[in-house]
Amino acid sequence: MKKVHILLKQHIGNISTPIVKVGDKVQKGQLIAQAYGLGANIHSSVSGTVIAINNEVIIEAAEKQPKDYIKLKKMDTKLEMIKQAGIVGAGGAGFPTDVKFASDITNGVVIINAAECEPLLHHNIKYIEENTEEFVKGIVHAIDITKAKQAYVAIKTKHKNAIINLAKKIKMIDNIKIKFLPDIYPAGDERVIIRELLGVILNPGELPIKANAIVSNVETIKNIKRAINDRKPVITKDITVGGKLKSGTSETVYFDVPIGVNVGEYIDKAGGKSPWGEEILIGGPFTGVSGDYNTPITKTTGGIFVGIEFPQIKKKFGLIECECGATADRLTEIVEKMGGEVVAVQRCKRMKLVNGRYRCEKPGVCPGQASTVIKLKTDGAEAILTGTWQDWTNTVMKVAPRLGVKILHSTDHVLRASDHKLYRKSD
């Protein structure tokens, strides 16, 4: 680690305003950019010297790094500590946590999203297994801040060790309970969680607060505990690294990775990119984006995966876009990397336009796509690229071969690289 690139926008809302200048010496944990309006404070993850500022603060890290960090100032309320720490949703959305937790849900429920529904990600579950007591302290803070009557930890039954460890720690705490989610994608979607745990159907665009609930990611709860108990700002991130690595196909979890370090450093730590590896995907297989060795780790980075080489399929492609999977831009990027051409795009039949954005009416419950496949074929598609597994299990796989259309999935090059059990070969 020589330089860290700390982005000034790692969250939903406004870009943070730097309060340091080139040449300044900074300390680990020091505030380097402030939020104005909807946004989040940003702190230095290392001690060193600021060498450049644009849309990021670039810091030349000192050779010897301290174990300690500059602690947050003591504030009057827990919510103020959360805001000062720069906590945002660590599960990927990056919504400022102080804004979300400012909602009073008296007699409501705060739900901890432990679904970790993207295939291959493991760091949330491993954190619960190994740091159960710290996790529970964070949940208690969340209950106190929101005035919730109850807290639920939403988790899949397959995560037995995490469930056992958690059950032992909360057996004497009446207002924290474990609730089970189905092992489906996208079980971690907020509306799926609300539907499965509370029986409330939220319309596209409606937030959990409509059900008198707040949903928060596991690592966000971890950061809440650290801000309040340890006065620690958000300067590290938990990640999972996997894919086509020289060391094999098993995923490796790294806790407390300094924000701003490039992903290549952790690909190398995990064994290095295999000669058969190609794309570096940042995030999960379904909703991740293409990156490279120099992509910096942010407050929302979850996974770093090396995919296998893209097959060269020089065909005319139709795309099936869905909110639960890859966007049309991402699907188009994959087609181009395969040497193909996009000739038609269709959305899943459940997607509806809400406030300028297409949203799924019922995440995780997918309709048949026979008419969608037929329309793409009519528009000239020789192959179809989809973005969710449910497309495979419905009529797409049945109808497409009869029409002479080849089906591919946006996650193939990543899930195959990891020998993931969900991978299914296309025709």
Distance CA(140)–CA(142), nearest Å, equals: 5
Residues 281 and 207 in one domain: no
User: Is residue 174 in some structural domain?
Assistant: yes
Q: Are strands 316-321 and 383-386 parallel, antiparallel or unpaired?
A: parallel
Distance CA(21)–CA(10), nearest Å, equals: 20
Residues 56 and 117 in one domain: no
Residues 368 and 397 in one domain: yes
Last residue of a domain, one of 308, 326, 344: 308
User: Is residue 420 in some structural domain?
Assistant: no
CATH number assigned to the domain comprising residue 406: 3.40.50.2300
Task: Identify the band that residue 414 occupies on the pLDDT scale cut at 50, 70 and 90.
Answer: confident
**What is the amino acid identity at position 52?**
A
Q: What is the pTM of this model?
A: 0.93
Taking CA atoms, 343 is separated from 176, 310, 330, in Å, by 51, 19, 15
What are the two backbone dihedrals, phi and then psi, of residue 56, each rounded to the nearest 5 degrees? -150, 160
Instruction: Look up tokens 């590896």; give the residue.
Output: 277
Instruction: Look up tokens 């899949």; give the residue.
Output: 156
User: Is residue 67 in some structural domain?
Assistant: no
Residue 149 CB-half CA count within 13 A: 5
Task: Identify the band that residue 396 occupies on the pLDDT scale cut at 50, 70 and 90.
Answer: low
Residues 240 and 256 in one domain: yes
Reference 135, options 102, 155, 112, 158; nearest CA is: 112
Contact 277, 269 (CB under 8 A): no
DSSP 193: H
**Tens digit of pLDDT for each residue in 311-328?**
999 999 999 998 888 889
**What is the amino acid identity at position 320?**
I
The helix/strand/coil state of 3 is strand
CATH number assigned to the domain comprising residue 278: 3.10.20
Task: Identify the band that residue 426 occupies on the pLDDT scale cut at 50, 70 and 90.
Answer: very low
Q: What's the confidence (pLDDT) of residue 398?
A: 64
Distance CA(398)–CA(369), nearest Å, equals: 10
Number of C-beta neighbours around residue 294 at 10 A: 12
**Total structural domains in the chain?**
4
Residues 99 and 218 in one domain: yes
User: Is residue 68 in some structural domain?
Assistant: no
- Average pLDDT of the segment spanning 168-178: 97
Residues 207 and 242 in one domain: no
Distance CA(60)–CA(48), nearest Å, equals: 5
User: Is residue 177 in some structural domain?
Assistant: yes
Instruction: Look up tokens 């000062």; give the residue.
Output: 84
Last residue of a domain, one of 175, 207, 229: 229
What are the two backbone dihedrals, phi and then psi, of residue 344, each rounded to the nearest 5 degrees? -160, 150
Last residue of a domain, one of 210, 229, 248: 229
User: Is residue 401 in some structural domain?
Assistant: yes
Residues 240 and 225 in one domain: no
| Percent of the residues in the chain that have a pLDDT greater than 70, as a whole number | 94
Contact 217, 240 (CB under 8 A): no
Residues 279 and 350 in one domain: no
| Percent of the residues in the chain that have a pLDDT greater than 90, as a whole number | 76
Residues 196 and 84 in one domain: yes
Residues 97 and 209 in one domain: yes
Name 215's bridge partners. Answer: 111
CATH number assigned to the domain comprising residue 190: 3.40.50.11540
User: Is residue 351 in some structural domain?
Assistant: yes
**Tens digit of pLDDT for each residue in 344-393?**
999 988 888 898 888 888 888 877 788 888 999 999 999 999 887 554 44
Give the tokens for residue 40.
């989040």
Residues 398 and 326 in one domain: yes
Residues 250 and 370 in one domain: no
- Average pLDDT of the segment spanning 41-69: 97
**Tens digit of pLDDT for each residue in 115-160?**
998 889 999 999 999 999 999 999 999 999 999 999 999 999 999 9
Distance CA(302)–CA(308), nearest Å, equals: 20
**Tens digit of pLDDT for each residue in 218-253?**
999 999 999 999 999 999 999 999 999 998 878 999
User: Is residue 299 in some structural domain?
Assistant: yes
Enclosing domain of residue 250: 236-308
Distance CA(216)–CA(235), nearest Å, equals: 19
Which residues does 76 contact at the CB level (< 8 Å), separation at least 6?
none
Name 120's bridge partners. Answer: none
